[in-house]
Amino acid sequence: MPKFAVIVFPGTNCDFETVEAIRKAGGKAERVWYQESIKDYDGVVLPGGFSYADYLRAGAIAARQRIMEEVREFAEEGRPVLGICNGFQVLTESGILPGALRPNKIPRFICRWVHLKVVDTNTAFTQFYEPGEVIRMPIAHAEGNYYIDDPSRVRVVFQYSDEKGEITEEANPNGSVLNIAGVSNDRGNVLGMMPHPERASDRFLGSEDGLKVFKSMVEWVKR
Ligand SMILES: NC(=O)CC[C@H](N)C(=O)O
């Protein structure tokens, strides 16, 4: 059974839910303290939270810890690497994914449900969605305004949309370029996303739409 490491930095706070979601999706998952090693795992998830209390910039200090060298090796070897919210911030701060997450256009913390259009279903995390499918997940961030000078440097995987899948300015909660909510590398094995799939992985949470992200990653390791 594929085994995933969910990395915990000081201030991470979505680790337990993320472990639960991976288990529900059929994988093994363990919380791994950032001073330990992830060598024995098949894939890695950087979960959400406030690592180092978002000092300097969200994700900036976590990105400079030794364990991120191992995460970089995972990314280069083609193993799945998923960064959710603060985890996405750590991936851009470490340069594993291009672009940057700036403070939201209206500079305050936003916590609410959004609609997302699944644009690219050819990644390790989206193979079970239909192209153009509209899904629902919560966002909870202050620094989620994705910027990239040239969007052709990434694969756009999720975009903030309305419930019909239209990419409108009103549907963009934070000012991200092209309504981008999630991007992957060329190979499709590294995904960073601001919305929280683990908070949408059970119908009692209000949506199960996020579970396929974890199911996809589990199946992808098996292949
Ligand atoms: N939910 C989270 O991971 C929060 C992300 C980050 N600390 C922010 O507020 O931007």
- Nearest residue (CA) to ligand 1, atom 7: 50
pLDDT for the residue 102: 98
Question: What ligand 1 atom has the least distance to the C-alpha of 143?
Answer: 10
Burial 183-204 (b: 16+ CB within 10 A, else e): bbbeebbbbbbbbbbbbbbbee
Cβ–ligand 1 contact at 141 (below 6 Å)? yes
pLDDT for the residue 96: 98
Q: What is the pLDDT of residues 169-186, one digit of tens each?
A: 999 999 999 999 999 999
Give the three-class secondary structure for 134.
strand
- Is the pLDDT at 223 greater than 90? The verdict is no
Evaluate if pTM is beyond 0.90: yes
Cβ–ligand 1 contact at 16 (below 6 Å)? no
Ligand 1 pocket test, pick from 61, 86, 109, 137 with the greatest ligand atom count within 8 Å of Cβ, gives 86
Residues taking part in catalysis: 85, 196, 198
Cβ–ligand 1 contact at 142 (below 6 Å)? yes
Record the tokens describing residue 86, joined without a space.
Answer: 């603060």
- % of the chain beyond a pLDDT of 90: 100
| Residues facing 208 on adjacent strands | none
Record the tokens describing residue 191, joined without a space.
Answer: 């995904």
Cβ–ligand 1 contact at 126 (below 6 Å)? no
pLDDT for the residue 209: 98
Q: Sign of torsion, CA 136 158 211 65?
A: negative
How many Å apart are CA 170 and CA 189, to the nearest integer? 31
Ligand 1 pocket test, pick from 8, 90, 113, 141 with the greatest ligand atom count within 8 Å of Cβ, gives 141
DSSP 152-180: GGSEEEEEEE-TT----STT-SS--GGGE
Q: What is the pLDDT of residues 183-211, one digit of tens each?
A: 999 999 999 999 999 999 999 999 999 99
How many angstroms does the Cα of residue 159 sit away from the middle of ligand 1?
18
Cβ–ligand 1 contact at 217 (below 6 Å)? no
Question: What ligand 1 atom has the least distance to the C-alpha of 144?
Answer: 10
Question: What ligand 1 atom has the least distance to the C-alpha of 196?
Answer: 1
pLDDT for the residue 123: 98
Of the CA atoms within 13 Å of residue 211, those in its CB half-sphere come to 14
pLDDT for the residue 189: 98
How many angstroms does the Cα of residue 43 sit away from the middle of ligand 1?
22
Burial of 69 (C-beta count, 10 Å sphere; 0-12/13-18/19+) = exposed
Q: Which residues of the chain form beta strands (DSSP E)?
A: 3-8, 28-33, 43-46, 81-84, 100-102, 110-118, 134-141, 145-147, 155-161, 180-184, 190-193
Taking a C-beta distance cutoff of 8 angstroms, is the pair 157, 93 a contact? no
- % of the chain beyond a pLDDT of 70: 100
Count of other CB atoms within 10 angstroms of residue 123: 26
Cβ–ligand 1 contact at 15 (below 6 Å)? no
Question: If you average pLDDT over every residue of the chain, what do you get?
Answer: 97
Taking a C-beta distance cutoff of 8 angstroms, is the pair 95, 72 a contact? no
The band of 85, judged by pLDDT with boundaries at 50, 70 and 90, is very high
Name, in order, each residue with C-beta under 8 angstroms of 82's C-beta and a sequence gap of 6 or more: 43, 44, 45, 46, 125, 190, 191, 192, 193, 213, 217
Please compute the mean of the pLDDT values over residues 42-63 and round it to a whole number. 97
- Is the pLDDT at 65 greater than 90? The verdict is yes
Domains of the chain: 3-222 (3.40.50.880)
Taking a C-beta distance cutoff of 8 angstroms, is the pair 48, 140 a contact? yes
Instruction: With CA atoms as reference, report the closest residue to 74 among 89, 51, 100, 96.
Output: 96
